[in-house]
Amino acid sequence: MESRMKESKLILEDGSVFEGYSFGSKKVVNGEVVFNTGMVGYPESLTDPSYRGQMLVLTYPLIGNYGVPGNEKEDNVLKNFESDRIQVQGLIISDYSDKYSHWNAKKSLSEWMREYNVPGIYGIDTRELTKKLRKKGTMLGKIVYSKESVSFEDPNKRNLVSEVSVKKPIVYKKGKKKIILVDCGTKNNIIRAFLKRNFTVIRVPWDYNFLNEKVDGIIISNGPGDPKKCRQTIENVKKALSKNTPILGICLGSQILALAAGANTYKLKYGHRSHNQPCIEAGTKRCYITSQNHGYAVDADTLSEDWREWFFNNNDNTNEGIIHISKPFFGTQFHPEASPGPDDTEFLFDLFIRSIK
């Protein structure tokens, strides 16, 4: 049992206060409080750019017990993380394990968080907190200490994609076939997935005009926040839809693809953030267990006649994928590349590749 005082506080916009202990960096922060029900994978989750501006609640009670791996690279891509830094505003957990044990561990979770000036709070009732977020929806929150304070701030009012996207193109050379990856906050595992399939990946900024590039396919990546903030990306994709170059949108990329096609998106009450979201392929009884991290969704009822719903969520029936009826345009709300989570749907990358002539 802890003998010291609980010096940290998580305060929600509805006035709820959760007291706990500090780990990581001792820093005052604000953001949108969201929860993830995954049991493992905190190094991947914390570095996922889709969490930009958010304070992450992990519902699994014990965190930190296997430490944090090193910065090894393969094909110039980090092997163990989804980006080059921790992306979350703060981490909220029930119990923190400072003593870690894993063959691949190089440091503790708290050490790693201090490197990137990211605060954590533990010793709170994450079950109560998660139930509150399930009932009321995601809320703004702040982590404060005894005499310090900070105002609430909604990160979704910012263009979060512009904060996490690369600033200039990066080329990952592999095979002769080339893919444009529109980086809206891409996870490294999307890059790994295509390098593994012997494709050269050209990673470009979110607002980059890729229309004159001679490539074999276009990927629109995952990313944080409201897809409607990505106006330039939507305009570029809208123009790309007039051609026949295969396009695959992933997570936020699927929402951008839908907006470019004239459909609408909306904010979910508390989003989907876990490794076990059941998704049904429309027109079949086939269910896939998927890895997800998103707070917005496509309104399938607003799709035009040229598009149809491809997948839907078996828990709440929200859209999980769209597909064009005649052209090679696809969108999946879940992550085929997982990391962390199951890779049951990675075959969708191969389906996309088969559409490339």
Burial of 34 (0-12, 13-18, 19+ CB in 10 A): buried
User: Would you state the pLDDT for residue 148?
Assistant: 73
272 classed as catalytic? no
* Active-site choice (44, 82, 320, 337): 337
Buried b or exposed e, range 262-300, using 16+ CB within 10 angstroms: ebebeeeebbbbbbebebbbbeeeeebbbbbbbbbbbeb
**Residue 78: both structure tokens together:** 């980090």
Nearest-CA neighbor of 26 among 145, 151, 112?
145
pTM to 2 decimal places: 0.95
Nearest-CA neighbor of 74 among 159, 222, 192?
192
Nearest-CA neighbor of 274 among 336, 188, 334, 189?
334
In CATH, the architecture of 160-354 is 3-Layer(aba) Sandwich (3.40)
Question: Which residue do the tokens 């389906």 mark?
Answer: 351
For every residue of 81-143, DSSP letters joined together read -SSSS---SEEE-SEE-SS---TTEEE-HHHHHHHTT-EEEESS-HHHHHHHHHHH-SEEEEE
Contact 43, 85 (CB under 8 A): no
Q: What distances in angstroms separate CA 272 from CA 104, 153, 171, one per listed residue? A: 29, 22, 32
- Give the separation between CA 31 and CA 151, rounded to whole angstroms: 10
Nearest-CA neighbor of 188 among 278, 75, 310, 30?
75
* Active-site choice (184, 230, 251, 279): 251
337 classed as catalytic? yes
CATH (residue range 8-157): 3.50.30.20
User: Would you state the pLDDT for residue 3?
Assistant: 58
The residues of the chain that CATH labels 3.40.50.880 are 160-354
335 classed as catalytic? yes
* Residues sharing a CB contact under 8 Å with residue 184, sequence separation 6 or more, in sequence order: 161, 164, 165, 206, 220, 221, 222, 223, 230, 233, 252, 253, 256
The residues of the chain that CATH labels 3.50.30.20 are 8-157
User: Would you state the pLDDT for residue 47?
Assistant: 98
Q: What is the pLDDT along the chain (357 residues), one digit of tens a residue?
A: 455 778 899 999 999 999 999 999 999 999 999 999 999 999 999 999 999 999 999 999 999 999 999 999 999 999 999 999 999 999 999 999 999 999 999 999 999 999 999 999 999 999 999 999 999 999 999 999 977 778 999 999 999 999 999 999 999 999 999 999 999 999 999 999 999 999 999 999 999 999 999 999 999 999 999 999 999 999 999 999 999 999 999 999 999 999 999 999 999 999 999 999 999 999 999 999 999 999 999 999 999 999 999 999 999 999 999 999 999 999 999 999 876 667 789 999 999 999 997
User: Would you state the pLDDT for residue 330?
Assistant: 97
* Active-site choice (272, 275, 294, 335): 335
